[in-house]
Structure 1
């Protein structure tokens, strides 16, 4: 399947536009500084149609685990742990994510992820602001 390119572990290398995105979603200043310097680690596994995402930060124990099936809503969380409702679909070899929640001031956050070689690229758009992150396969 085209999405199997996501399987494995990824570590964030760069994030451009984070300050603007953090401001747009109202992330408090103390959390903003932590997440700005933190490197996100994401791992993807799959069992049949059920995907599992394990999201954490380099050097910080106890990340979050989310399970989903393409096109089916599931409960997730924002950067600071605030609850969100999410749905992930596929467009060829891309994941397309839609997230809503009170932490986003009821706005919708759209995320597009794709893989180029050993790099996963994330394009996040919310409230007129875009952030682009690059992850390397670990």
Structure 2
């Protein structure tokens, strides 16, 4: 249940390059650069509800069960099927254009998204 809680972005590395790679417009990138993204997670065993609240007040919630295919959605509204796995306490899922992992390290939520050689690393604190 380590992921359960409300998290707020402290730092992010590679934000601009990652957003550009995904085709996010420059004005949206600018708005989000210093935004403190809020992530709300509830966990009940292998069942998760993962909500992210973005700068435009857009909210995306994905509900999933570890090891089972589920319907997911990107911030851009693209729907896709994915299976989230957990290995060594690290959640892992492949989105349409990138691979995403989440883990708790030193009491922080560390999220890493990789698309080729471009990496976005976001560190969040519990609030």
Q: For residue 81 of structure 1, what is the aligned residue in structure 2?
A: 77
Matching of residue 42 in structure 1 with residue 31 in structure 2? no
Q: Could you list the runs of 5+ residues in structure 2 that have no partner in the other structure?
A: none
Correspondence list, 1:65-76, <5 A: 65-76=61-72
Q: For residue 5 of structure 1, what is the aligned residue in structure 2?
A: 2
Q: CA deviation at 1:58?
A: 6.8
Q: CA deviation at 1:66?
A: 1.5
Q: CA deviation at 1:46?
A: 2.4
Aligned 8 A contact 1:13 1:134 in 2? yes
75 and 38 in structure 1: CA distance in 2 versus 1, 3 angstrom threshold: farther
Matching of residue 135 in structure 1 with residue 121 in structure 2? no
Greater CA drift, 89-98 or 62-71: 62-71
Q: Deviations over 1:98-128 (max 9, x none)?
A: 111xxxxxx3x11111112321111110132
Number of aligned pairs?
A: 127
- Give the alignment's TM-score, normalised by structure 2: 0.86
Q: CA deviation at 1:6?
A: 0.6
Distance in 1 (CA, whole Å) between partners of 2:69 and 2:55 is: 28
Select the residue among 9, 25, 29 that pairs with 2:26. Answer: 29
Q: CA deviation at 1:135?
A: 0.3
- Give the alignment's TM-score, normalised by structure 1: 0.80
Aligned 8 A contact 1:31 1:80 in 2? no
Q: For residue 18 of structure 1, what is the aligned residue in structure 2?
A: 15
Q: Could you list the runs of 5+ residues in structure 1 that have no partner in the other structure?
A: 101-106
Task: Give 1 or 2: higher helix fraction.
Answer: 1
